[in-house]
Amino acid sequence: MEEIKVNKRGFFWLFNKYWFTIKGLNEKTVNPDPFLQFDQWFKDAIKTGIPFHEAMTLSTISPEGRPSSRVVLLKEFDGNGFVFYTNYDSRKSKEIDQSGFAALSFFWADLNRQLRIEGMVERVLEDQADRYHQSRPRGSQLGAWASPQSQEIPDREYLEKKANEIKLKFNNNKVPRPPNWGGYRVIPDRIEFWQARADRLHDRIVYSKIKEGGWKIFRIAP
């Protein structure tokens, strides 16, 4: 039998974990708008105190059809899509720019929930990226200049030397956004909400974008 441990997240955590598993998810009663349904689940994850609730796995594909995944943080979302920030010269960015597509997934263990998002990707506007960059701690702003993300470097000293040079260069001045750093928006055409249920008879509710507008909502087998 599963050992039930009440961790520091306390009663609310335990209640949610089992309440949602009993309640399940129904294609007839989910929000007709997948972004609002996402918003509800995201709020549940925050309320439950899930560490790194905004961490999501981003999968991209190379021109040869070779997939790769890594974790990034969801920084903004609305009815247009899901935004994360990164280095535009990184491996993920090259793959996104080449294929135009990406997939995201969340796993919120404390809620027995998984979310899968797929769609086309676009870069966010420069203004939006500037605003987000300026909202970051100074250390992160400097780090974005210092790190040639995904490129081979000789050793750690190389990175630390570069970080020091950048620090001296900007001194006490405002740190502008590096031109090769910004955001991507994943614009979903398919979102799947997965809720664990008893006996592996999980609920899987899919929203699939209809060309003419709106979403087809249906259930798939676990």
Ligand X SMILES: Cc1cc2nc3c(=O)[nH]c(=O)nc-3n(C[C@H](O)[C@H](O)[C@H](O)COP(=O)(O)O)c2cc1C
Q: What is the largest CA-CA distance in the chain?
A: 60
The answer to whether residues 105 and 115 touch, using CB atoms and an 8 Å cutoff, is yes
Residue from 91, 156, 200, 219 carrying the catalytic annotation: 200
Please give the single-letter amino acid code of residue 121.
V
Least Cβ distance, residue 72 to ligand X (angstroms): 4
Please give the single-letter amino acid code of residue 107.
F
Is residue 200 part of the annotated active site? The answer reads yes
> Residue from 12, 52, 158, 218 that binds ligand X (CB under 6 A)?
52
Quick one: 106 or 207, whose CB is closer to ligand X? 106
Stretch that binds ligand X, among 32-40, 67-75, 103-111, 127-135 (CB under 6 A): 67-75
Least Cβ distance, residue 150 to ligand X (angstroms): 3
Residue 202 in tokens: 């999980």
55-58, Cβ contacts within 8 angstroms, sequence gap of 24 or more: 55/106, 56/82, 56/84, 56/104, 56/105, 56/106, 57/104, 57/105, 57/106, 57/107, 58/84, 58/92, 58/102, 58/103, 58/104
106 binds ligand X (CB under 6 A): no
120-179: contacts with ligand X (CB under 6 A): 149-150
Stretch that binds ligand X, among 15-23, 70-78, 106-114, 182-190 (CB under 6 A): 70-78
> Residue from 15, 40, 43, 70 that binds ligand X (CB under 6 A)?
70
Quick one: 75 or 167, whose CB is closer to ligand X? 75
User: Hey, how many other C-beta atoms are within 10 angstroms of the C-beta on 118?
Assistant: 19
- The span from the CA of 185 to the CA of 187, in Å, is 6
55 binds ligand X (CB under 6 A): yes
Q: Report the interface residues with ligand X, using CB under 6 A.
A: 52, 55, 68, 70-73, 84-86, 90-92, 149-150
